[in-house]
Structure 1
Amino acid sequence: MGEKIEFPNNYSMYLKKAEQYLNLNEPIKALHYIELAYDIKQEPNISTLYVSVLVQLERYSEALEIVENIKGKNIMKTEYVSLYLFLLIKNKRFVQAETYLTRLTGGDQLSIDELSQMKKLLEEEILIDEKERHQAKNELKKKLFALADLSREEQLKIVDEVSLLTPDELINVIPFLMSNPFVDPLAKSFYLQNLVDINADVEFEFETLGITKIINPSKLDSFNEESIVVQVNEQLNMQLEKNPSMLMSIKPELNFHLLKIYPFAKQIIENPVEWVKLYIHLYSFETENLEFDSRFSAREKKMMEWIKKISKMEG
């Protein structure tokens, strides 16, 4: 199919339609036609209209993107200055807003009253944001301390929320989870990663597949930097170099299994070369009930049992 051709009168028609819906107080329908017109011609008048409707709909992120596009073209008019500052504040880009406000102070682009109003808005939005973050943190802490009562899916979902907590808050909360036998093992591995990422210097007991050890996250490598993880992946790439389709199939599952046994992979995987060979062998037969035969040494049988145990871990 050829490229879509917009007729010159379409632009005017879209603007007329947008105006009709705005007069009917239907900004969402108006926005549809504004976007069509904006795609044809990004003139100042359509940009202004586009931004004003987005602000009306409280879609501040999209509005800021358009204003920044205007600013990037060095066609920032005085009427956009106040709007740009407003959108920075509403998008919680407080440091940038404060810097911009300081730069405007003493200039002639905004009046003293406008500067005062923007400063007040900035202070109010910072307080609101702090209050919301404080409330979100308290809710998150409650969830974490009651993590064992949640479903496995909910436990894993909360992993993404812990970035709200400061390093000290993480250190106070997460070790408590590690000693709880009802917290999902995979969730524990993810929470442990958070402590490793912030180099948390705290000791606690950690258990996976019957292996228990006192660990200190500050002394652990991150999962991707763990030497045994690197070695196993290198071996997988080498052994399946001529079979890229199998490599692509096995790699995600193998690394998922490695994550399940982090940080005890070194204790479980005695030989990365043999581990990968066994993994490929088991994967090729597509069964967990493969019978051992004389081809397997005692060490290989032991590692094969570990692979089966890891495969049977929930998830």
Structure 2
Amino acid sequence: MGIQIEFPKNFERYVDMGQKAMKERNFAQAAEYFLKAYEIEQDFPLNFLIANTLFDIGEYKQALNLAKEFEEDYHSHLEYFSFYIQLLALNRQFIEAHREINTRIYEGEENEMEELVRLKKEVRHNELLFRQFERKKIEELKNEISLLPEKEYFQQMIEVKKMSLLTQEDFLEVARNFLANENVQILVRSWILEMLVVMGVQEEMEFLWVDKSVQKIKPNETTLPYQTKSYQQVFQELDELLGQNDPILMVNLMEEVRIFFAVIFPLSDSIITNPEVWAKSFLVDFWGEYDLIQEVEELQKEILEKSQWRRGVLLGMDSV
């Protein structure tokens, strides 16, 4: 009896078989072969090929999930970006599609504007069709989301992401109810407000801030937390003080900074008037090697005051 030899899986062989199936217009079979190749080696060209093949056979959800594995690459060129937006729209992720397009419009090249405007119109058209013909599904989702204030903090952070499956009109309706609701946790309210900022919403909104004061905010005139002048200044101060000494701690510390700036959003620039003091207040809490004694007495007091206020705000997050 001869010995059976199991040959190793061959990446090129699966790709060739997939391309042959494509020529025969057997797209389902082609996708199967390409996915087998993808199990062996993952790269963007193959990812894009598979996503397009899945698109052709109507497997939009699987195509989008796959594309998100190389999301940065899909932003590298307008052709890839346009396809990625199509996938978002076909998966009814209209808010995310608008957010992506708006961000690229603000940051993109002039020669991309015509295509980006076309994309935005296309997404809006699909969104309006969905809103017209799928009211029952939308209302069911809104009813589900309406229960969010009754849930625990971490569950709220999960549930709020379902809002991205709403249309812009329905998102705004839910946002109005949540932004000033004290039973909705502060980081959840901040996330909703950030989405409204990226969407460029012009309507004035009432926002319950961390101290329970109600702020009137126009999202289209508001800067995202991590784009504010104060955030950039605190980051620069920390980088100068810590970056070269302990880059790993710097990464962990910046996560704490991001949470704090999300909590005090959108008023950080009016609060962080002395970035150096605020940066050192973080070091007092998170870097054991930082010696506060080296600071003059008056500055020591101010640093400790900022540290205490910040800790109080973060500890009180669960109640605001």
TM-score of Structure 1 vs Structure 2, range by shorter chain = 0.5 to 0.7
Contact 1:192 1:217 in 2 (8 A): yes
Aligned to 1:176: 177
Out of 16, 19, 44, the position equivalent to 2:17 is 44
Which runs of structure 2 are paired with 1:70-89 in the superposition (5 Å)? 87-89=56-58
Residues 298/266 of structure 1: CA separation in 2 closer, same or farther (3 Å cut): farther
Does residue 274 of the first structure (1) align with residue 277 of the second (2)?
A: yes
Q: Aligned residue pairs: how many?
A: 234
- In structure 2, how many angstroms separate the alpha carbons of the residues matched to 1:169 and 1:196? 16
How far the C-alpha of 1:8 sits from its partner, in A, is: 11
- In structure 1, how many angstroms separate the alpha carbons of the residues matched to 2:141 and 2:58? 26
- In structure 1, how many angstroms separate the alpha carbons of the residues matched to 2:189 and 2:164? 15
Structure 1 SS opposite 2:181: coil
Per mean C-alpha deviation after superposition, the further-off stretch among 299-308 and 249-258 is 299-308
Residues 46/202 of structure 1: CA separation in 2 closer, same or farther (3 Å cut): closer
- In structure 1, how many angstroms separate the alpha carbons of the residues matched to 2:32 and 2:164? 25
- In structure 1, how many angstroms separate the alpha carbons of the residues matched to 2:286 and 2:243? 16
Out of 219, 222, 239, the position equivalent to 1:220 is 222
Out of 283, 286, 308, the position equivalent to 1:283 is 286
Contact 1:167 1:200 in 2 (8 A): no
- In structure 2, how many angstroms separate the alpha carbons of the residues matched to 1:167 and 1:239? 43
Aligned-partner residue type, residue 238 of structure 2: L
Contact 1:205 1:215 in 2 (8 A): yes
Deviations 1:237-279 (A, max 9, x none): 1221331233223111121221121112223323111100121
Residues 47/151 of structure 1: CA separation in 2 closer, same or farther (3 Å cut): farther
Deviations 1:88-132 (A, max 9, x none): 434379x98xxxxxxxxxxxxxxxxxxxxxxxxxxxxx9xx9599
Structure 1 SS opposite 2:243: coil
Does residue 137 of the first structure (1) align with residue 106 of the second (2)?
A: no
Aligned to 1:255: 258
How far the C-alpha of 1:156 sits from its partner, in A, is: 0.7
Pair member with larger Rg? 1
- In structure 1, how many angstroms separate the alpha carbons of the residues matched to 2:25 and 2:273? 64
Aligned-partner residue type, residue 241 of structure 1: G
Deviations 1:123-170 (A, max 9, x none): xxx9xx959965553233113322211222221112322222222222
Residues 158/85 of structure 1: CA separation in 2 closer, same or farther (3 Å cut): closer
Q: Larger relative CO (CA 8 A, sep 6+): 1 or 2?
A: 2
Out of 219, 222, 241, the position equivalent to 2:243 is 241
Which runs of structure 2 are paired with 1:203-214 in the superposition (5 Å)? 203-210=204-211, 212=213, 213-214=215-216
Aligned-partner residue type, residue 147 of structure 2: A
- In structure 1, how many angstroms separate the alpha carbons of the residues matched to 2:54 and 2:284? 61
Q: Which runs of 4+ in 1 moved over 4 A?
A: 37-43, 45-49, 51-56, 58-63, 129-136, 293-299
Structure 1 SS opposite 2:6: helix
Per mean C-alpha deviation after superposition, the further-off stretch among 263-272 and 133-142 is 133-142
Contact 1:268 1:306 in 2 (8 A): no
Structure 2 SS opposite 1:240: helix
With normalisation by structure 1, the TM-score equals 0.59
Aligned-partner residue type, residue 175 of structure 1: R
Contact 2:18 2:33 in 1 (8 A): no
Contact 1:232 1:276 in 2 (8 A): yes
Aligned to 2:307: 304
Which runs of structure 2 are paired with 1:27-176 in the superposition (5 Å)? 36=9, 42-44=15-17, 48=21, 55=28, 62=35, 87-91=56-60, 130=130, 134=135, 136-176=137-177
Out of 234, 241, 264, the position equivalent to 2:267 is 264
How far the C-alpha of 1:45 sits from its partner, in A, is: 8.4
With normalisation by structure 2, the TM-score equals 0.58
- In structure 2, how many angstroms separate the alpha carbons of the residues matched to 1:10 and 1:52? 30
